[in-house]
Amino acid sequence: MDQSEIDALLAGGGKPPKKPKAAAKAPAAAAPAPKPAQPSAPAAGAGPHQDGAGHVIAELDTVTAVTERESNKVMDQLDQISRLVSRQQQLITGMMQHEGAQSPGVQQAIHEVMGAGKEIQDKVFEAMDLMQFQDITRQKLERIVHHLRQIHDYIVELLGTGLKSEAERPSISHTIAQTGTTPDENKAHADSVIEAFKSQKKG
């Protein structure tokens, strides 16, 4: 996350909604601001009508965009570590064939280094799998945004003033209540539903 994004995220935190609204509306012709308050990541909900609720929605959309981009950076690093470990394993395998490495002590040490490399590789894969949290968190945030939009639009309709929120993503998760955080938390449940469905179909 770069400074402009941090500034954009902080702009709404604890400040009255009018301030960021005014900042966002500042015309290009006005004195140039030292730092743009707009995030570089696309904010799907960020539109021209940034009232209190609209601002929160835009911020949540920004958070999801930024976390996805940052998660990919973490994945890049893990990929690189994985490639380096693979290269190291190849080099060590070559060393094992070397004439000077044939003593039992050296061979034992090489095997230990190979074992440690395998452990690192496994941990890297494990870390990659854990990055699923990003997608799950994003979908939870989308669900929260959906509820916020509904509340916002209800209040607008009730008061007869203001603008309704912009269209949201066409498909969001139906509920977050059952969304798990531990890998395979819902596997047994899903498998039993699949089994029941298939048996019913056969019958």
CB-nearer residue toward other proteins: 147 or 187: 187
Kindly list the distances between the CA atom of residue 131 and the CA atoms of 2, 5, 179, 180, in Å, as whole numbers in the listed order. Answer: 21, 22, 15, 14
Closest distance between other proteins and the C-beta of residue 188, in Å? Answer: 10
Residue 202 lies near other proteins (rule: CB under 8 A): no
Residue 189 lies near other proteins (rule: CB under 8 A): yes
CB-nearer residue toward other proteins: 79 or 112: 79
Residue 195 lies near other proteins (rule: CB under 8 A): no
Closest distance between other proteins and the C-beta of residue 145, in Å? Answer: 13
Residue 68 lies near other proteins (rule: CB under 8 A): yes
List of residues 6+ apart from 3 with CB closer than 8 A: 35
Kindly list the distances between the CA atom of residue 81 and the CA atoms of 56, 104, 133, in Å, as whole numbers in the listed order. Answer: 37, 30, 21
For residues 52-70, one letter each, b for 16 or more C-beta atoms within 10 angstroms of the residue's C-beta and e for the rest, the string is: bbbbbbbbbbbbbbbbeee
Q: Please work out the total of residues on this chain that contact other proteins, with binding judged by CB under 8 A.
A: 41
List of residues 6+ apart from 50 with CB closer than 8 A: 17, 20, 21, 24, 58
Positions in 131-150 near other proteins (CB under 8 A): 131-136, 138-139, 142
Interface contacts to other proteins, rule CB under 8 A: 68, 71-72, 75, 125, 128-136, 138-139, 142, 169-176, 178-187, 189-190, 193-194, 197-198
